[in-house]
Amino acid sequence: MASVRILEGIGVGTRAVRAEVLRWSARKPLPAMAKSSLGPEVEVNTLSKAIANLENQYAAKIKAATDKDLREILEAQSAFASDPELADMAKDFCVQGWDAPSGLQLAMGEFKSLLEGAGGEFGERVADLDEIVYRLIQWMSGESEETILPTIGSFIIVADDLTPMDTIAFTDVVVGVVTKGGGPTSHTAIVCRSRGIPAIVACTGADELVNGQMVVVDPDASQAIINGELADIDVDWWAARTNQGGPLIQVMANVGSVADAAQVKSANGVGLLRTELFFLNNKVAPTRAEQQALYADVLAAGPDGEIIVRTLDAGSDKPIAFLGIGHEENPALGVRGQRVAAIAPKFYEDQLHAIKAAADSVKATGKKIEVSVMAPMIATVEEAQVFARDARAAGFTHVGIMIEIPAITRVIGQLKGVVDFMSIGTNDLSQYLFAADRVNSGVAALLNPWQPALLSILESIATDSAAAGIKVGVCGEAASDPLLAVVMAGLGINSVSASASSVAAVSELLSRVDNKAAKSAAKAARGATSARDAKSAAKQALLDG
Ligand code: PEP
Ligand code: MG
């Protein structure tokens, strides 16, 4: 019998699969910088043709993308590729004597630092820009852009990392994914979660996987098992539990666009409406009326019930050009989230009033929504007081804050009477708790939401919130893991808000547990000393109980 080897990573999804490894071809390095031997006119012409070709490619891929998350990523990349500023910069370098691939690489370097100037490091957007350069240069060197997949069979795609353009080529033969890079919130994780493809990301041992080898991808255990057998894994382990007729705690949805809102129409409210996503490509600030129209569209398209709109969370990995944040050495620790209100007071005031006006106008149509606002990145009680005062002055009666910075978790008792609710952003809370950049795949293991220290802080936030009489939910990506959502319920969290594609799975498992089972899963997870053990202990507790 072939020997079994276990590779550890971070699991995405809930279903285990077994299939043959198919390695995604590694990318060629970009060509070295070179001066043109053909003259600027030829180089500029090559560049224009390459951009036009890439625009056409994107248009075709966007049309073919049935998956909403993937389509949105491709649309954002396509907007970058069509940016005239980028083309003009690259052409200027060609006029200075560089060949087209070099002009493009130099321009992209400048473009990145310009964006950094607008708001710091920008995480997945760096990957978007690298992808555009790669595709343009690939076309210039006459190479094909497609990886050809077999038409029959089932395969686990193994790669260093995948770009959204890569994943669009996936057909039904792709049943699983293993990547060496990526993290819990990387593009690969988002697209796989959204398409229902089980994946192991940040799998440092992925290099060991070779074509033709049989491998099991078990996202629940966060493992890729070389020569593993599915029979050893209980794939439908929760199916035997009785459905209680509804989830143990409220399951809401995270929304970032009108399409998201429409997709989750049947969810029990929206726990996080990310407003900054509307403005990532704006060069000038929207007017109050323009904002109101945008928010009204999304509120009208989404579910009834409680809708929590988050005020602008710009800066760091979400740069917004018109705010004028300026260059920062450590943007994740700089002016971002609620801190931006001080440098863009007009936008801040306009936004609060625009959300209120949009909520009133949609309610006036008869839609049964209750809209509240919450502020991102609150570090102190004083910041919470200022935001609550401003939000109430704009007419809101239900005002909350996000818990994403460890400092605020120490003073929750002092928020009594200041805010009406809190929502934990586990993506940023992990980043700041573990001193691990959320967009750096090299530290992804620390960002595993099952880390015991994160579970411990969730428990203490839940305990302190209950003592202060303030409701607390979780809206970070961690709440999209059904088993972790059960643990959260057991730790005393009052609601979860999951990504649009995970709402159904999270509701399903939360409907198959009662308070006692959730508490025992939480207790088991809290007793573990590693992320891996916490997850398996929680599962075991549910299997035993
Ligand atoms: C979070 O930090 O967990 C969160 C929900 O906010 P965002 O991911 O938008 O920063
Ligand atoms: Mg956050």
288-310: pLDDT as tens digits = 999 999 999 999 999 999 999 99
* Distance of alpha carbon 24 from the chain centroid: 23
Q: Using CA atoms, how far apart are residues 328 and 348, in angstroms rounded to an integer? A: 21
Domain for residue 218, yes or no? yes
188 plus 264 within the same structural domain: no
Distance of CA 426 to the CA centre of its chain: 11
Distance of CA 42 to the CA centre of its chain: 41
Cα separation, 428 vs 436, whole angstroms:
10
The two tokens of residue 234 are 């209980």
Shared-domain flag, residues 79 and 156: no
Distance 517 CA to ligand 1 centre (A): 28
Establish if 239 belongs to a structural domain: no
Most confident of 52-56, 99-103, 189-193, 515-519: 515-519
Q: State in Å, rounded, how far the first CA of the chain is from the last one.
A: 35
Best residue among 313, 427, 434, 475 to mutate for probing ligand 1's pocket (most ligand atoms within 8 Å of CB) is: 427
Query: Tens digits of per-residue pLDDT, 62-101?
Result: 887 777 777 877 888 888 888 888 888 899 999 999 999 9
How far is it, in rounded angstroms, from Cα 340 to Cα 123? Answer: 19
Domain boundary (140, 174, 209) is at 140
* Residue of the CA atom closest to atom 8 of ligand 1: 427
Is the separation of the CB atoms in 399 and 429 below 8 Å?
Answer: no
C-alpha span between 510 and 483 (Å, rounded): 8
Judge if 135 and 158 occupy the same domain: no
User: Ligand 1 in contact with 274 (CB < 6 A)?
Assistant: yes
Q: Do 361 and 505 lie in a common domain?
A: yes
CA pair distance 335, 290, nearest whole angstrom: 25
Rounded CA-CA distance 220/16 in Å is 8
Residue 119 pLDDT grade (very low, low, confident, very high; cuts 50, 70, 90): very low
**C-alpha 147: how far from its chain's center?**
26
Q: How many CB atoms lie within 10 A of CB 326?
A: 14
The vertex-535 CA angle with 529 and 541, nearest 5°, equals: 100
Q: Are residues 272 and 406 in the same domain?
A: yes
The pairing of strands 214-218 and 17-23 is antiparallel
What is the SS3 assignment for 149? coil
pLDDT at 193: 80
Rounded to whole angstroms, the Cα distance separating 146 from 61 reads 12
- pLDDT tens, 464-506? 999 999 999 999 989 999 999 999 999 999 999 998 888 988 9
Please state, in angstroms and rounded to a whole number, the distance separating the CA atoms of residues 143 and 138: 5
Q: Whose CA is nearest to atom 3 of ligand 1?
A: 425
Cβ(425) – ligand 1 distance below 6 Å:
yes
pLDDT of residue 478: 93
Instruction: Give the CATH number for residue 131.
Output: 1.10.274.10
Ranges 24-33, 34-43, 290-299: which has the least confidence = 24-33
Residue written as tokens 């600027």?
40
CB atoms within 10 A of CB 389: 12
Half-sphere exposure at residue 321, Cβ-oriented, CA atoms within 13 angstroms: 11
CA distance 332 to 470: 28
pLDDT band at 422 (very low <50, low <70, confident <90, very high): very high
Least confident segment among 87-91, 178-182, 237-241: 237-241
Residue 520 resides in a domain: no
CA–centroid distance, residue 242 to ligand 1 (Å): 33
Residue 526 forms part of a structural domain = no
Q: Is the pLDDT of residue 123 over 60?
A: no
Considering only 169-178, 403-412, 413-422, 490-499, which range has the smallest mean pLDDT?
A: 169-178
3-state secondary structure of 163: coil
Domain span at residue 219 reads 5-27+146-226
What separation in Å is there between the alpha carbon of 365 and the centre of ligand 1? Answer: 31
Q: Does residue 136 sit in the same domain as residue 201?
A: no
- Does residue 326 belong to any structural domain of this protein? yes
**Residue 192 annotated in active site:** no
Q: ∠ at Cα 439 (433, 445), nearest 5°?
A: 60
Question: Is the residue at 534 inside a domain?
Answer: no
> Does the pLDDT at position 340 exceed 50?
yes
Residues 132 and 278 in one domain: no
CATH number of the domain to which 474 belongs: 3.20.20.60
Do 376 and 454 share a structural domain? yes
Ligand 1 contact, 428 CB (< 6 A): yes
CB 251 within 8 A of CB 268: yes
Distance CA 412, CA 467 (A): 9
Q: Which two tokens stand for residue 386?
A: 């200022």
* CATH number of the structural domain spanning residue 199: 3.50.30.10
What pLDDT, on the 0 to 100 scale, is given for residue 250?
97
In a domain, 544, yes or no: no
Complete DSSP assignment for 38-86: S-HHHHHHHHHHHHHHHHHHHHHHHHH--SHHHHHHHHHHHHHHT-HHH
Please confirm, yes or no, whether 203 is among the known catalytic residues. no
Q: Are residues 419 and 370 in the same domain?
A: yes
Rounded to the nearest integer, the mean pLDDT of the chain is 89
Task: Quote the number of domains for the chain.
Answer: 3
Q: CA-CA distance, 4 to 533, in Å (whole number)?
A: 20
Q: Give distance in angstroms: CA of 429 to centre of ligand 2.
A: 8
> What proportion of the chain, given as a percentage, has pLDDT over 90?
57
Asked whether residue 171 falls in the same domain as residue 214, the answer is yes
DSSP string across 345-389: HHHHHHHHHHHHHHHHHHHTTT--EEEEEEESS--SHHHHHHHHH
Residue 120 is predicted with a pLDDT of: 37
Amino acid at 234: D
Domain shared by 210 and 129, yes or no: no
Same domain, 360 and 450: yes
Residue 372 within a domain: yes
Which of 466, 480, 474, 545 is closest to 512 using CA atoms?
Answer: 545
- Amino acid identity of residue 416, one-letter, is K
